[in-house]
Every structure is written in structure tokens, then in C-alpha cells.
Amino acid sequence: MGLRQDKFAKQIQRDLADLMTLHRNEWLGGTFVTMSNVLVSPDLSYVKVYLSLFNIVNRKDVLKHLNTVVDKEIRHEIAKKIKNNVKKIPEIRFYEDDTLDYVSKMDELFTKINNENKDS
């Protein structure tokens, strides 16, 4: 990413973090969520936000709810904050960051391999 994209992504991440803290119960149902990454398109019109969802059974429901709320409330709130810095307010989409699940799966596999090697 370019310098402008990086700065814009960090600004969006800060603004979204503030908004999610403020509206945590409404948008997230009080669940614990962290933003692991924010990616911005080169023309600054699309933003992908990757969320790590902890101890949540219905992860897909939380993401679905956020993506429906984003069109009405979240994008409007972001527009208030960045309207003087950009020509077009970006479309925002939320995705699940599953790297922690991947890491735990890999740890299990390595542990299993090590245990098999010890038994041999």
C-alpha cells in the first residue's frame, strides 16, 4: 500500500475503534471484538475491516449485523469525521480474521506430530 492508503487506513481504524467503543452494545451486542487489519483500495473508495471475534458462538451473525448496520449508521458516522479529507466516503465491509484459529490448528498438528515422533 502507498503512504496515503496507510495513513487513511490508520485513520479509519481509529475512527471505527472510537465508534465501536461508543456503540458497542448496539452494534456488537456487548461482545469483545478487535480490529486486526484495515485495508484500503488505491482510490480510497473501499475499506475492508478484519475483525477478531473472541468467545462468540454466532460469529457470522455478528458480521452480518455489522455489515447491515454499516450502510446506515457506521458509514454515516465515519462520514462526519472524514468528510473534509476525502472526495468520496468509502464503502466499508467487515470480514472475520481467522488467523488465530489457523494458528491454534497448526499448533495442534505440530503437537500431534511431536507426540507421534516420541512414540516411534
Q: What is the pLDDT of residues 15-37, one digit of tens each?
A: 999 998 888 888 777 778 889 99
Of the candidates 87, 74, 76, 85, the residue with the CA atom closest to the CA atom of residue 11? 85
User: Looking at the 3D structure of the chain, how many domains does it have?
Assistant: 1
CATH at 97: 3.30.300.20
* Residue 36 belongs to domain spanning: 3-119
- 47: pLDDT strictly greater than 90: yes
pLDDT digits (tens, 9 = 90+) for 85-102: 888 999 999 998 887 777
Asked if 76 and 32 touch (Cβ cutoff 8 Å), the reply is: no
pTM beyond 0.85: no
Query: What is the DSSP track for 90-120?
Result: PEEEEEE--HHHHHHHHHHHHHHHHHHHHH-
Scan for cell 461482545, then name that residue: 31
